[in-house]
């Protein structure tokens, strides 16, 4: 599995497949490969540099969804590398989709208040899902998903399912395949009164 920096430095090994219409009919997906394999990369080496920003959720969801959006706070190096891959994807899509720059929804973003962030999807339950996330503790043993997400230190393996194309949006479709986390250690605040 390549690092984000290795991928960004070797974009000539990236290949974007033809756009295939998905079953629901309103989205097309172009497979993205690196060195003839599905693009997979890891962020958050050592459970120190990457954290979960918020509890995974679905916009206007019921709370019962198993596939949710997740937002990670990432390093500047990971942000720059992922941004380079996204730029390569826009360049590859532009000949057949001239409006890609105007409609691109970046997975990697930087803002003054929160720093560098990366959005992805995470599958929290089975239900026959091919993309169900596997969770690991600090000892690298399989475990259950964490109960508290916000601020959790993680190491994450992401699979790029491809570039999605919709009438009003383009972007990378990232799925969390594996997530290792360090149990939160905090002392309850003592009441000063």
Domains of the chain: 2-182 (2.40.50)
Q: Which residues pair with 180 in a beta bridge?
A: 136, 155
> Model-level pTM greater than 0.85?
yes
Neighbours of 176 (CB within 10 A): 24
Q: For residues 73 and 116, is the Cβ–Cβ distance under 8 A?
A: yes
- pLDDT tens digits, one per residue of 141-191: 999 999 999 999 999 999 999 999 998 999 999 999 999 998 765 555 676
- pLDDT tens digits, one per residue of 9-32: 999 999 999 999 987 778 999 999
Q: Is the pLDDT of residue 48 over 80?
A: yes
Largest CA distance in the chain: 66
């Amino acid at each position: 599995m390549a690092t984000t920096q290795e991928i960004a430095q070797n974009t000539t090994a990236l290949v974007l497949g033809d756009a295939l219409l998905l079953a629901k009919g309103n989205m097309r997906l172009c497979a993205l490969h690196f060195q003839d394999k599905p693009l997979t990369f890891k962020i958050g080496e050592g459970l120190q540099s990457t954290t979960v920003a918020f509890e995974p959720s679905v916009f206007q969801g019921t709370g019962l969804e198993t596939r949710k959006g997740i937002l990670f706070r990432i390093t500047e190096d990971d942000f720059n590398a992922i941004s380079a891959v996204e730029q390569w994807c826009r360049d590859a899509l532009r000949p057949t989709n001239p409006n890609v720059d105007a409609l691109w929804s970046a997975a990697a973003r930087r803002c003054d208040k929160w720093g560098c962030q990366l959005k992805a999807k995470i599958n929290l339950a089975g239900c026959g899902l091919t993309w169900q996330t596997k969770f690991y503790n600090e000892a690298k043993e399989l475990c259950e998903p964490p109960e508290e997400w916000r601020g959790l230190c993680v190491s994450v393996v992401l699979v790029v399912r491809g570039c999605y194309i919709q009438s009003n949006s383009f972007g990378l479709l990232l799925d969390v395949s594996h997530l290792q986390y360090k149990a939160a250690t905090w002392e309850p605040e003592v009441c000063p009164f």
